[in-house]
Amino acid sequence: MPVFLNPKYPGPERRSGLNWPRARPGALEPPHDRVLHIGLVNNMADAAMSATEYQFLTLLDAAAGDVSVHVTLYALPGVERKPPGQRRVGSFYFGIEQLWALPPGHCPDGLIVTGREPRTPDLRQEAYWPSFTRLLDWAQEHACSAVWSCLAAHAAVLALDGIERVRSPHKQFGIFACERAAPHALLAAAPARLHVPHSRWNGVPAGQLIANGYRVLTRTSDGGVDTFVKEDAGLFVFFQGHPEYEPETLMGEYRRDVGRYLKGEADTYPQLPLNYFEAEVEQALRDIEARARASRQDRFLGELSAVLGGARVLNTWRGTAALVYRNWLEHLCAQKCHGGTSAILS
């Protein structure tokens, strides 16, 4: 079954268009317990909003199978946006207050919550922190399950259990081989070794997670945490990586960070994403890096874009990502079938 987007406004698309199928009134649907409503709370910066929408919609579409998935976009207040981002939110996003006001029986079956690049050293000082923590409380009471993506995962464990994230000496950037650390139905039929994109400077310590009742499901090859869960009134799933990423996403982040370096907005030249580019492309990028380090010039960004334009990236993680999200959707269906009282995935 396809994934549908619930429109904020009926009628034709607005010019800022979000090109995704809308549910048609009266269209034939599968049985009630095979129809899921997912709230996507997208907190990403303006430049990444539309890409993030597409990433999660296409991943859910790949995972849905015979489940009909209806997605509603929500926005947190306090997330700073420029006029284009404000227009997009105004066109396609429901206010988070509308989520909180939903009566019992009309709440989403599951939530997906994204993070955003922080503006303060302490996440508790972010302008959106009060609304984020209220969303967390709401999810604990009303959602069968919620997915917390990357920085949202860090913010959630900080708010829930006071677990502080720790900055690494080097950015975790690239495609990481991850090993299973514990059995769980989310990983049913998944290979023992998974590939997952990561793009982060910070991580949460496994020891503190375990001490506070979390279960680490997968670890990166260097022993860091990849995916973990907490099972209480509902199932909370935390991804430090980005299984939703498209093949070109890390490439775009690398180009952005090189641009920041060339403009003097960053002190260090960014590292190449690990296990990502073919050897010939990687060597060409290293040659540009060597010359750019010697003399910061805008022209190098053009050279870099030309190399990246011809790069091919093999998506080695999509199949497993779709499988994990398929297992998550099946969990939501089981919860719905039993009126939200079925046993938690384990």
Decide if pLDDT at 201 tops 70: yes
Which listed residue (107, 144, 150, 178) is catalytic? 150
Tens of pLDDT, residue by residue over 120-166, are 999 999 999 999 999 999 999 999 999 999 999 999 999 999 999 99
Q: CB under 8 Å to 138, separation ≥6 — which residues?
A: 99, 100
pLDDT interval class at 92 (50, 70, 90): very high
pLDDT interval class at 15 (50, 70, 90): very low
Mean pLDDT of 74-99: 94
pTM, two decimals, is 0.93
Q: What are phi and psi of 5, to 5 degrees?
A: -105, 125
Mean pLDDT of 11-17: 51
Computed over its alpha carbons, how large is the radius of gyration of the chain?
Answer: 20
Instruction: Express as a percent the part of the chain with pLDDT over 90.
Output: 82
pLDDT interval class at 1 (50, 70, 90): low
Binding-site residues from annotation for substrate: 171, 199, 256
pLDDT of residue 344: 35
Instruction: Output the CA angle 265-305-300, nearest 5 degrees.
Output: 55
Annotated active-site residue 178? The verdict is: no
Tens of pLDDT, residue by residue over 266-278, are 999 999 999 999 9
pLDDT of residue 31: 76
Annotated active-site residue 244? The verdict is: yes
Side chain identity, residue 259: G
Q: Distance between the two ends of the chain, CA-based, in angstroms? A: 26
Annotated active-site residue 242? The verdict is: yes
pLDDT interval class at 7 (50, 70, 90): confident
Cα distance between residue 56 and residue 53, in whole Å: 6
Instruction: Express as a percent the part of the chain with pLDDT over 70.
Output: 93
Output b/e per residue, 58-96; b: 16+ Cβ within 10 A. Answer: bbbbbbbeebbbbbbbbbbeebeeeeebeebbebbbbeb
Which listed residue (142, 184, 198, 242) is catalytic? 242
pLDDT interval class at 209 (50, 70, 90): very high
pLDDT of residue 211: 98
Tens of pLDDT, residue by residue over 284-326, are 999 999 999 999 999 999 999 999 999 999 999 999 999 999 9
**Residue length of the chain:** 346
Q: CB under 8 Å to 293, separation ≥6 — which residues?
A: 269
Domain ranges of the chain: 3-245+315-337, 249-309
pLDDT of residue 68: 94
pLDDT of residue 24: 64
Tens of pLDDT, residue by residue over 228-249, are 999 987 999 999 999 999 999 9
CATH class of 3-245+315-337: alpha beta
Tens of pLDDT, residue by residue over 19-45, are 788 866 556 677 777 899 999 999 999
Side chain identity, residue 248: E
pLDDT of residue 199: 96
pLDDT of residue 342: 35
Which listed residue (126, 244, 289, 330) is catalytic? 244
Q: CB under 8 Å to 30, separation ≥6 — which residues?
A: 1, 66, 67, 68
